[in-house]
Amino acid sequence: MISQSKLGVSEVIGEKREAVLRLAEYYGARNVRVFGSVARGDATHDSDVDFLVDFPPG
């Protein structure tokens, strides 16, 4: 069995952080948060990124 190294938020999001925040702003999303394996620090290269965002009413 081949072990995969664990990745944290900075390794997964890294240089894409600003692009994610720009997209959130464009669509009116606020309070962007990461959850799941990335937030726990046990993501691998095969993991997806789970975002939770707030939208204003309406």
Whether 52 has a pLDDT exceeding 90, the answer reads yes
Contacts 24+ apart (CB under 8 A), 10-17: 12/38, 12/43, 12/47, 12/49, 13/38, 13/49
DSSP 27: T
pLDDT the model gives residue 9? 83
Q: For residue range 10-37, what is the model confidence (pLDDT) as tens digits?
A: 888 888 999 999 999 999 999 999 999 9
